[in-house]
Amino acid sequence: MDEPNTDVIPGTLDLLILKTLSLEPMHGFGIARRVEQISRAVFKVNPGSLLTALTRLERSGALDAEWRVTDSGRRAKYYSLTKSGQKQLEAATDDWTRRASAVARLLRAEG
Amino acid sequence: MSIWRQFQRGLDVLLHRDTADRELSDELEHYVAEAAAAYVEQGLSPADARRRARMDAGSLASVQEEVRSGGWESMVEAVVTDVRFAFRRLMGSPGFTFVTALTLALGIGATTAIVSAVTPILFRPLPYPHAERLAAVVEDHKGVRGAGTFALYHAFADQTHSFEALAVTRRWQPTLTGAGRPDRLSGERVSHEYLRVLGVSPLRGRDFTETEDRLNGPRVVVVSDGLWRGRLSADPAILGKSLMLDGDPYLVIGVMPPGFQDVEDPAAELWAPLQYDMSQGTAWGHHLRTVGRLRPGVGIEAATADVAGVGRAVLTQQHPETYDPNTDFMVTSLQGELTRGVRPALLTIVGAVILVLLIALVNVTNLLLARGVQRRTEFALRAALGAGRGRLVRQLLTESLVLAAVGGALGIAVAAVGVKTIVALSPPGLPRADAIAVNGTVLFVGALVTTLVGLAVGILPALHATRTDPQQEIQHGSRRTAGGHRRARGILVAAEVALALVLLVGSGLLLRSSARLFAVDVGFDQGRMLTMQVQLSGHRFDDDSSIVRFFTQALDAVRTVPGVTAAGFTTQLPLSSDDDEYGAHFDAEPNRPAATYDVFRYAVTPGYLETLGVPLLSGRSLGDADRAGSPLVAVISASLAHDRFGAEDPLHQQLRLGPAGPYTIVGVVGDIHQASLAQSQGEAVYLPVGQWPFPDRSMSLVLRGRGASALLAPAVEGAVWSVDPDQPIVRVATMSDLVARTAGERRFALTLFEVFALAALGLAAAGIYGVLSGSVNERTRELGIRSALGASRAEVVRMVVSQGATLTGIGAALGLIAATGLSRLIASLLFETPPVEPVTYLTVTALLFVVALVACSVPAVRASRVDPVEALRAD
């Protein structure tokens, strides 16, 4: 049972959701699939955390939600980025880049 | 904006939980469907795809739960659920809930009521600006407070430097005539600075001036807001009008602000300048109260030194006859002085109620512990089913809080009723009784303390359940192994018994003391005697002889009332708070130096001593022939005769009373109690009413009749009014009422103590009962084995009872030790009863044991009925 850890790095789920939605509005499973595909299956998102995070972001005003009919003809809840969500994404991206590069530098220095 | 959105969404969810849930499950279903579709694309069969998608998502219910618990509204929902569940649990065991809530209510309510009643009296500042600077100047004669004299007030006002303002006051009860029926008002004669001492000025009009406060000064009066609004119909032009008081017109110069209260006499409605008459040498009469406002920064000690210095100097220079040369002069806080009489009783009651609160706390702790033990299996089961420690603790906290809320609400009711009862029971002299009201802070603190204890005790079982292995706990649950808890509860019950015993001892002592007090021989026959006071007012009595004539005629009229068998007038009535003392002076004789004794002075009509039933020990009583103009005679009391003459015959000796005399002693009568049941200062001089140079305008009538003397009152009043219809009659009371009233404070303390002691006894009994019946339940199996092995019923009963007796015995021993120490605190309330009195201690201990035995008997009998077969099969 030595599977690689596919958990999302704590604290980054919001960033991943915001980034994914910055391309186009999407429903919950769409977001999960996109995250998995783009990360090449490094991260898998479970529906509990995802829907909780979506509800939270919707409430804080970063996302809007509306029920729409999908291409396959099913009703689904679509999330889209709001202006405040866009700002939050930029801030979070800057913050992440700054910290990730710092971590990368540290690791290089040690190595 | 964002917070508002958060709030709105949460509220939406709360109000439309169904819609929100449906939406969530739709979304989730769609999620799984999309996931399945994705698997189908990868080539799985629809059924397999669906299964895979489902597995990936995990339990849908727990996903829903996770999403749900994200918002703030989930907390609200959890609390509501908890509260609802707590109510169900509490209703499930109504006995426990009832007893616990009642105990809490009693503890919180009684404490709140008592502290609410006592704090304003003892601690709330007097209702004046900078009340902390108000002080009383008092004279202390070997520990006994004496009234002040005008001469010393004068010296203090002139020569001390500690006071911003200093004043003397005297009761004044003028009769108001004019519009409507004559009314006797309460007021004070005050020296001109009095209102400045209190720091309150009239709202309309003005204060007194110094020139108005002189003998034969103008007749002016300041009235209270209540009098102005009531009797004076809120006349806007009242200033400058006159009131007829005792037949003289008094110019109204001021109206006090609404809410102003004169603490020297809470009933006072009007104030007039003292206009003290020093011409008759009465400046040394002790009948004034002295109050002052200290200068800022002057302390009580400094002021005392200042006053004592001046007082001593005056006494050594002038050595007045009315002063003991060793008199101490002191300055004390006015508030302390006003509450001096009731302070020990009130503090004792506070102590008693704190004991009750402690017992209530112990009892609640005990009940919760017992319940915790019973519920250990339940908690273990819930922990095994996945309830986290936090969840269990939260549930128990909620239960404790609900219980505390119920108890607190009942407590408010108890406090409200309690405060009313206290005011109703309060002794007539209780100062500032009007300030008593339920104190919110105390109520809150009481509820908080009990709740905190409830919480602390309540969560123990939850912690225990989550700490131990649930499986083991469930397996052993039915065996009821609870040794540690039982010991803790045993200790608590012993503590409860000890506290209850302290209260029982206290109330036992007070009860005995009270019985002794009411058994005191006051020196006369108290039964079936009616008393009333007649007050003369108006100019028709300016002539002294008309006063004596009125009382003589009134007495004749009263004696003709059918049913009246004996009657007489006196200037001061025993046990009525009348206090008129003079120095009785005896000249030097060959074998005795001159001496002065403090005596009660009575000017009486013939028949008074006979009506009262004071025994005549030698010589004769006072008769009709002893009148103005005839030789001056006096009857003295046995103790005065003994003080002065020892075993010798005092008849035909002479004495002077203050400025009057000399009187020839013609008789000796027994001592009576004048001041109170407890005080037996018996030195007294009785003079014929016509032979006292300054006739008193108010005298008390005492009479006896056939049958119930109280029924004679209307006819007797009619007889007095037949002589003069304008004279008010006040203070109509039977002597037994007066006697009861003089012991009012003691009775007040006693009543409350009895109530508390009974409550404590009840709580302790409940505690013993609870522990024993819990222990019998827990030991059902053991008892079953015992009886299976041949233990007889009697042995089982003995076993349970001895367990109860041990707890009671330990508690009683501790309680007796504590009581011997604590009972000293109520020594000042006890009359001829030592704080450590074996009989009382033994009696209440016996009572406690009897009650404890009754509490033991129910569980003991239940234990003896345990059927061994049933008990063993039960597991």
Please state which of the ranges B482-491, B670-679, B719-728, B737-746 shows the lowest mean pLDDT. B482-491
Q: What is the pLDDT of residues B348-378, one digit of tens each?
A: 888 888 888 888 888 887 777 777 777 777 7
Q: Which of A33, A55, A77 sits opposite B38 (nearest CB)?
A: A33
Cα(B70)–Cα(A48) distance, rounded to whole angstroms? 10
pLDDT at A1: 46
* Whether the predicted pLDDT of B255 surpasses 90: yes
Do B1 and A61 lie within an 8 Å CB cutoff? yes
Provide the token pair at B144.
Answer: 């006994």
- Look up the pTM and report it: 0.67
CB proximity A72 to B under 8 Å: yes
Helices (H), B256-388: 300-318, 334-338, 343-374, 376-384
Q: Whole-angstrom Cα distance, residue B600 to residue B573? A: 11
pLDDT at B1: 47
The highest-confidence range among B70-74, B171-175, B532-536, B632-636, by mean pLDDT, is B632-636
Query: What was the pLDDT predicted at B355?
Result: 84
> Which pLDDT score is estimated for B271?
93
Q: State the nearest Cα–Cα gap between A65 and chain B, in angstroms.
A: 12
Tokens of B693: 């140079």
Nearest to B67 among A27, A48, A60 (CB): A48
Cα distances (angstroms) measured from residue B491 to each of B309, B370, B502, B723: 59, 13, 17, 74
Percent above pLDDT 90 for chain B: 8
pLDDT value at residue B686: 94
Residue written as tokens 């001109």? B192
State the pLDDT at residue B469: 62
- Tell me how close the Cα of A107 comes to any Cα of chain B, in angstroms: 34
Give the tens place of pLDDT for each residue, B34-46. Answer: 888 888 888 888 8
Q: Under a CB-based contact definition with an 8 Å cutoff, are residues A29 and A70 in contact?
A: no
Judge whether A82 is closer than 8 Å to chain B, CB to CB. Answer: no
Q: Cβ of B466: how many Cβ atoms within 10 Å? A: 19
For residue B107, the one-letter residue type is G
Q: Between residues B178 and B784, which one has the greater pLDDT?
A: B784
Q: How far does A44 lie from chain B, in Å, by closest CA?
A: 10
Q: What angle do CA B381, B382, B384 make, to 5 degrees?
A: 65
| pLDDT score at B466 | 60
Question: What amino acid is encoded at B825 in this protein?
Answer: L
Task: Using the predicted structure, report yes or no on whether residue B222 has a pLDDT greater than 90.
Answer: yes
Q: What integer pLDDT is reported at residue B181 of this predicted model?
A: 61
Q: Which helix (H) or strand (E) holds B67?
A: helix B60-68
Average pLDDT on B147-159 reads 85
The predicted model gives B249-257 an average pLDDT of: 92
* HSE value, Cβ hemisphere, 13 Å, CA-based, for B196: 16
**Å between B68 CA and nearest CA of chain A:** 8
Subunit contact A60:B5, Cβ cutoff 8 A: yes
CA dihedral defined by B639, B642, B645, B651, rounded to 10 degrees? 60
Supply the pLDDT for residue B797: 84
Structure tokens at B508: 């036992």
Question: In this predicted model, what pLDDT tens digit does every residue of B273-330 receive, in sequence order?
Answer: 988 877 655 577 777 889 999 989 888 888 888 888 888 888 888 777 667 777 788 8
Band of the pLDDT at B414, cuts 50, 70, 90?
confident
Separation CA B205–CA B192 (nearest Å):
15
What is the pLDDT, as a whole number, of residue B180?
61
| Token pair belonging to B168 | 């003397």
Supply the pLDDT for residue B457.
Answer: 65
Count the Cβ atoms, other than its own, within 10 Å of residue B773.
19
Contact present, A54 and A28 (Cβ < 8 Å): yes
Torsion of CA B149, B150, B153, B159, to 10 degrees: -120
Q: What single DSSP character describes residue B148?
A: B
Q: Residue type for B212, please? A: E
Q: Does A48 contact B66 at a Cβ distance shorter than 8 Å?
A: yes
Encode pLDDT of B402-412 as tens digits: 887 888 888 88
* ipTM for the assembly: 0.84
Query: What is the reported pLDDT for B253?
Result: 92
User: Which residues are CB-contacts of B269 (< 8 A; sequence separation ≥ 6)?
Assistant: B185, B186, B187, B223, B224, B226, B227
Q: Is the pLDDT of residue B435 over 70?
A: no
The DSSP code for B178 is S
> Average pLDDT of chain B?
81
Q: Is the model more confident about B866 or about B619?
A: B619
| B474 — pLDDT class (breaks 50, 70, 90) | low
Contact A61 B2 (CB under 8 A): yes
Indicate the average pLDDT of chain A: 84
> pLDDT grade, residue B256 (50/70/90)?
very high
Confidence of residue B634 (pLDDT cuts 50, 70, 90): very high
**Cβ separation A76–B27 shorter than 8 A:** yes
Q: What is the pLDDT of residue B480?
A: 47
What residues contact residue B659 under an 8 Å CB cut-off, 6+ apart? B280, B281, B693
Residue pLDDT, tens place only, B686-707: 999 888 887 888 888 898 888 7
Q: Specify the pairing of strand B289-294 against strand B163-172.
A: antiparallel
Q: Inform me whether the C-beta atom of residue A48 falls under 8 Å from chain B C-beta atoms.
A: yes
Residues near B188 by beta carbon (within 8 Å), at least 6 away in sequence: B169, B170, B171, B172, B194, B262, B264, B265, B268, B271, B272
Residue B847 confidence (pLDDT) above 50 = yes
Calculate the alpha carbon distances from B310 to B68, B139, B191, B286, B313 in Å. Answer: 83, 13, 20, 18, 5
Which of B30, B56, B62 is the best residue to mutate to test the A interface, defined by the most A CB atoms within 10 Å of its own CB?
B30
Q: CA B645 to CA B595: how far, in whole Å?
A: 11
Residue A111 has pLDDT above 60, yes or no: no
Question: Residue B592 has what pLDDT?
Answer: 79
Angle at the Cα of B108 from the Cα atoms of B102 and B111, rounded to 5 degrees: 130
* Amino acid, res. B85: F
Q: Are the beta carbons of A8 and A16 closer than 8 angstroms? A: yes
The confidence score (pLDDT) of residue A52 equals 84
pLDDT of residue B82: 82
Element (H, E) at B465: helix B460-467
Q: Which has the closest alpha carbon to B520: B686, B743, B828?
A: B743
Interface of B with A (CB under 8 A): 1-2, 5-6, 9-10, 23-24, 26-28, 30-35, 37-38, 56-58, 62-63, 66-67, 70-71
Using the predicted structure, report yes or no on whether residue B479 has a pLDDT greater than 80.
Answer: no
Please determine, for residue A62, whether its predicted confidence score (pLDDT) is greater than 80: yes
pLDDT in tens, B661-682: 789 999 999 998 887 777 777 7
Which residues, 6+ apart, have CB-to-CB distance to B36 below 8 Å?
A: B46, B49, B50, B52, B53
